Amino acid sequence: MSNQKLGKNADDIFSTRPKPAEEKPVQEKRGRGRPDKHGEDWSKVTVVLLERQIHWLDKLALGIRKRTKASISRAEIIRAAIEAMEESDIDFTEAESGRELKTLFRKSLRR
C-alpha cells in the first residue's frame, strides 16, 4: 500500500497562498476574526431566549436601521439594556425571580 494522498485536507481547502501569477499588496497583519469593537475584556456567553424575544429584538434592530440607517445587533441591544440596569439606582438584588426583576425594571423605566 502506498502513502498516496486522497482528497483534500484542511490545509488545501483553507489555504491562503496567493496564486503564483498574481501579486498582492503587502498588508498589515491583524488578528483572526472580526475586528475588536470593545474597549475592555469580554466573554462570549450563550443565553437561551424565547422565540418572541428574538423576534422583538430583530424588529427593534430593523426599526433602528430604517430610521437611522445604523446597523445594530441583538447583542448590542442586550448589552445596552444590561448597562442601563447597572447604571440605574435600583437595587435589583431584592428580586427573587425573573418576574420580580421585570417589575423592578418596568418601574425604573417609568421614572
Residue 35's pLDDT is what?
Answer: 62
What are the pLDDT digits (tens) for 49-90? 999 999 999 999 999 999 999 999 999 999 999 998 888 888
The domain in which residue 62 lies consists of: 45-111
Across 82-103, b (16+ Cβ under 10 Å) vs e yields: eeeeeeeeeeeeeeeeeeeeee
Domain presence at residue 102: yes
**8 Å CB contact between 77 and 83:** no
pTM: 0.62
Domain presence at residue 29: no
Whole-number Cα distances in Å, 70 to 23, 46, 55, 61: 36, 25, 19, 9
Residue 36's pLDDT is what?
Answer: 63
Domain presence at residue 103: yes
Domain presence at residue 36: no
Domain presence at residue 4: no
Domain presence at residue 37: no
What are the pLDDT digits (tens) for 27-46? 666 667 666 666 788 888 99
Count how many domains the chain has: 1
Residue 40's pLDDT is what?
Answer: 81
Domain presence at residue 86: yes
Domain presence at residue 12: no
